[in-house]
A and B are shown apart, each in its own frame.
Chain A
Amino acid sequence: MATDFWASSHYKRWIVDRATLKQARADDVLYVAEPEHLGFFQIYFANLISKLGKKLQLRQRVISTAIVFFHRFYLKNSYCETDPYLVLSACCYVAAKAEESPVHIKNVVSESRTLFSQQGPGKPTFPSDNSKLAEMEFYLVDDLECDLVVFHPYRTLLALCRKDAEVEAEAGELGTGIGAEDGPKYWGSGRGKLELSEGALQTAWFIINDTYRSQLCLLYPPHLIAISAIYLTLVLHTPTQNTIFDETTTRRQDPVAFLADLNVSLSVVSTISQEIIALYSLWSRYKEEPGAQSAGATPGAGTGTASGGPEWRFGYGHTITPLILPMLLKRMREQKLSDMMHPSSGRPVAVNKMLERTQAAG
């Protein structure tokens, strides 16, 4: 059932290079004080999708799909010219449908309204009207070019590291990525399986969840992200470290040989790992205020993220709380709006393309 990743729209259309990512933010970067704020926005929005998804009782894979949709949408649009809250709500709604666990539009609207009303100063006004969300959904599907199949690293992780190789596909799961049966084709002999303990597997899973707070899913194919997560787990998960160096265990595994056996570019894997570490470094400066400690950044509480533990402090520099982000966003959008109305050239900007062309035609 593994639909071929290499033939998919995910691989052909939605793996992009860094220049494209930069170009996509070209407009936004003019309206933020620090370019790194854009990175905080990514964390902030991904966390919101995660929270909204949990309220709607979506499974992790559905939430991840929603975040991928969000990132893809903002390859073509700017934060300052859109309403990211409406967009992320639509992402959850579409992802739920695309992954065969549909939720009612009314629930999405009401949960979104509740969630967004807790966003403090600068909080968005979310339309109470279902049709606004339905309309947004239409534009979202349009900008996604109807490419609704998303592949995720989870399946590769399970295929490589779970004891029972049986990787069960969930109902409606199409974007399953590269499964166990494709093993030899993608990572060598396939005999080099690395059994991880339940705890280590969990850690790797959480690292994968965390990668969606960055744009890694737009840069690299999911199986490489999975392998990077395994690599980081081997380095960071203390109990696993101990078993590797424990001479007395009967079933010793050689993780170095395992990684070397894989039919993938290890230098790309190490680049991805660096990126993940850079994400943690940024994230460690992003502090949810103590009162509102929730889904996004609590490690190991079953909420599915791996950051924040004491040995995981990569960060330095000043911290930022998500409280100020809605304010920042609001200011960005206001400035953008005023710039559109009073451009530096002094000539009013055309309200729409049609008018602009009419003007150009004299």
Chain B
Amino acid sequence: MYGVPQMPLHTPPLPLPAAQTIPSLPERPLHSLPPHPYLPMGNLPPPSPASEQKLTSKEPSPSLQVDESSLITPSPAFGAVPTPPASRPELYSIVGQVGEGTFGKVYKARNTINNVHVALKRIRMESERDGFPVTAMREIKLLQSLRHDNVVRLYEMMVSSGSVYMVFEYMDHDLTGVLSQTQFQFSEAHLKSLCHQMFRGLAYLHHKGVIHRDIKGSNILINNQGELKLADFGLARFYQKRRRADYTNRVITLWYRPPELLFGATVYGPEVDIWSAGCIMLELYTKKPVFQGNDEISQLEVIYKIVGTPTLQRWSGFANLPWYELVKPKDPIPNRFRELFRKWMSPAALDLAERLLDYDPARRVTAAQAMEAPYFLTDEPKPEKPTSLATLEGEWHELEAKRERAKKKKRE
């Protein structure tokens, strides 16, 4: 509409059904925005010719009638020009809640035009005294600039009743959920593929200069085609490849937090994600998180019990870290990693895991290097996407897994 060849403002996930007539629509209910505060007369300008055009070129309205109470309407202003409310189709109908993000709930919803499912992540605005949350802004900016098979795709942004929604592609499961179910057994080849896809996603992020900073089971999504995608960029940040900057060390869910952060490091890079990825790799095999500490101190102790205590040979810089005196290991503990995990993993897998969980961030492998490991290249079996996940009944997210557990407890 600005006279430049361009993509439609908000590409719907799939091509729309062609040639639809536009029936007159019901009044847009309930969800209209309050009058713009910067319009002194509380009046919207009459639609300009441009906006008229916009209207007809935008998605044809669905002839479906859906329950209005569960409908969300994209904001009029998101259509580039204030669009007369009457003509807005009810685009998404909420199916249910599937998760809890860093700053709001995540819903499964159906696009009422093409019936494609999407995930709606609601950014709650009313609780924010400082306006639009900076984390949300960061996530939006990041995701808009990322496009990769192993990174969850942000389709569009949407405004409705005072909330901003991020519209994502829908993913059937998350890793925590899918590992907690017992119907479907992953083969060695499946696990290897999931692991490989995770490193592909991470290699892409790190190449783009992004540290995820919250790699954990519930942020790794898997669909029924066996594709794995990284999600939830609420804590992610750009980093500088040449100059290391100071960041907060209060990131990454405790169980996946690397030792340098537990030692108080504020200068770090993409290696923090690699440690988390190492934890995930082990979790794929053992089906549950391996380092489950209760607080920072006990987290370090749990790590020591498995991979031993750090020494100057293993990690030359660790005595210089801010909290070294506070949390340094009291007695040396030997490394029992290989003997503990031998029953789960092949030697090649153990080799890679060891390089991922290297104490010294400088020596830890990069995501790109990990993809070149013998585990992926020569070790049998070859990776294979778990496409048979489609046969799995139900959808498995951490949220459902939690609820399931709670139910079981009640029954007992």
Contact = CB atoms under 8 A, between A and B. Distances in A.
B311 to A, nearest CB: 34
B67 interface: no
Interface size class of A (residues with CB under 8 A): 35 or more
Contacts of A19: 3
A60 interface: no
B382 interface: no
A60 to B, nearest CB: 19
Contacts of A134: 128-132
Contacts of B9: 13, 145
A265 interface: no
B333 interface: no
Interface in A104-130: 104-105, 130
Interface string B142-172: 1011010000000001010010100000000
A8 B146 CA distance: 10
Contacts of B240: 168-171
B157 A145 contact: yes
Contacts of B369: none
Given A3-B145, A17-B3, A139 B131 contact: no
A353 B84 contact: yes
Contact of B238 (A130, A133, A174): A174
A20 interface: yes
26 contacts: A1-B209, A8-B145, A16-B2, A19-B3, A20-B2, A76-B77, A76-B81, A83-B38, A105-B129, A134-B132, A137-B131, A138-B132, A138-B164, A139-B37, A141-B132, A141-B137, A148-B137, A148-B144, A168-B243, A169-B238, A170-B240, A174-B142, A351-B42, A352-B42, A354-B85, A357-B84
A87 B27 CA distance: 30
Contacts of A3: 145, 208
B124 interface: no
B44 A352 contact: yes
Nearest to B10: A145
Interface in A1-60: 1, 3, 7-9, 12-17, 19-20, 23, 26-27
A119 to B, nearest CB: 18
B160 to A, nearest CB: 11
Contacts of B27: 354, 357
Interface in B95-129: 125, 128-129
Given A1-B209, A94-B132, A137-B132, A145 B37 contact: no
Given A16-B3, A148-B141, 7 more contacts: A3-B145, A13-B6, A78-B45, A81-B40, A142-B77, A145-B9, A172-B238
Nearest to A352: B43
B34 to A, nearest CB: 8
Given A141-B164, A148-B140, A20 B3 contact: yes
Interface in B244-275: 245
B85 A353 contact: yes
Contacts of B77: 76, 139, 142-143
B78 interface: yes
Contacts of A83: 38, 40
Q: Which 8 A-B pairs have the closest CB atoms?
A: A17-B3, A16-B2, A134-B131, A146-B157, A1-B209, A82-B38, A3-B145, A137-B131
B7 interface: yes
A86 interface: yes
Nearest to A75: B2
A98 B141 contact: yes
A83 B42 CA distance: 12
B82 A97 contact: no
A174 B145 contact: yes
Nearest to A357: B86
Given A12-B6, A12-B7, A17-B3, A136 B128 contact: no
Contact of A142 (B1, B75, B245): B75
B2 A138 contact: no
Interface string B1-39: 111101101000000000000000001000010011111
Given A1-B241, A145-B78, A93 B131 contact: yes
